[in-house]
A and B are shown apart, each in its own frame.
Chain A
Amino acid sequence: MSAVLFFIAAIVAIAGAFGVVMLRNPFYNVLSLVCHLVALAALFLLLRAEFVAAAQVVVYAGAVMVLYVFVVAYVGGADESVTHFTGGADRPGALRVLGPLFGVAVAVELCIALLGTALKGISGKGAPYVLGFGTPKQIGTEFLTTYLFPFEVASLLLLVAAIGAVVLARRRRGLEPDESLDARLRPARPAYTGTMAEVAGLVAHGDGEAGR
């Protein structure tokens, strides 16, 4: 039973990973990453890491992916400048060919090394299961005793990253064209009020704003 579940979860995870790399629409990329993460959570459950699986689904597939979806929606995934480079006019062609070759070579090498190894631990089913392995209680005890320092550093890092993201993504005056401010500073002028552009015939009568 666990073998069947393992193969289903592994195939879904690898298919999701392929979807992330191959699909052209960034929305579909994010959705297939969600698929991949849920399958990976199933693998974690098979490895009896219940708390990590729950955190994976709640934090990763829930929170982080929502962030991604919002940014893809904001940037406007499919139609502009994100998908036009499939032709790769100025993209080095060598990278497009050698990249997948490199990946396949590394994957084959790693698989040979892992499956052909003589290490007993890897080919076994793991340590005998004791009750309470991977529960929140055990993880929390580890975090607050043995790994207290990494825990605190991680929380500090999260704070720094949140502030950094706010600083990076805030609206800055002067860096970008600010249309609303522009329109307020130059009120609409009625036609036939004698601007130079109207006299020279550069602006059609009635749309005094267009020539500036």
Chain B
Amino acid sequence: MAIGWYLVVSAIIFCIGAVGVLVRPNPLVILLCLELMLNAANLALVAFSRMWGGSDGQVFALIVMVIAACEVTVGLGLIVAIYRRRLAIDVDELNELRG
């Protein structure tokens, strides 16, 4: 398959993730949609790495995976902290971070 088709799939997945971030009010699902967007970027990086025949894109895809893991860890920690305080888990009602 031509590289362009991989990029099209990546663009579609990215847009689905962006719509999810805009539409869903649950922070857990918003984190999942962020994962979708990061994975779309990963797919584009790996496709370009195949296009040029160099492995730099794959190295950065792995680094993006590290970043995603960090983001998930901190985000889920925040959600657990919010849940402990018996607040509503809804981004429309959570508009301050003050402890």
Contacts and interface: CB of A to CB of B under 8 A. Distances in A.
A binds B: yes
Majority-rule SS of B interface residues: helix
B96 interface: no
B95 to A, nearest CB: 12
A154 B6 CA distance: 27
Interface in A11-65: 13-14, 17-18, 20-21, 26, 29-30, 33, 36-37, 40, 43-44, 46-49, 51-52, 55-56, 59-60, 63-64
A208 interface: no
Interface string A142-167: 11001100110010011011101111
Contacts of A91: 25, 92
B29 A20 contact: yes
B72 A128 contact: no
Interface string A92-131: 0001100110111011001100110100011111111110
How many B residues are at the interface, by size bracket? 35 or more
A182 interface: no
A6 B76 CA distance: 33
A55 B33 CA distance: 20
A130 B6 contact: no
A104 B11 CA distance: 11
Given A17-B36, A33-B36, A37-B39, 5 more contacts: A14-B13, A96-B23, A99-B19, A106-B15, A122-B51
Interface of B: 1-9, 11-20, 22-26, 28-29, 31-33, 35-36, 39, 42-43, 46-47, 49-53, 55-56, 58-63, 65-74, 76-81, 83-86, 88-90, 92, 99
Interface of A: 2-3, 6, 10, 13-14, 17-18, 20-21, 26, 29-30, 33, 36-37, 40, 43-44, 46-49, 51-52, 55-56, 59-60, 63-64, 67-68, 71-72, 74-75, 77, 81-82, 85, 90-91, 95-96, 99-100, 102-104, 106-107, 110-111, 114-115, 117, 121-130, 133-134, 138-139, 142-143, 146-147, 150-151, 154, 157-158, 160-162, 164-169, 171, 175-177
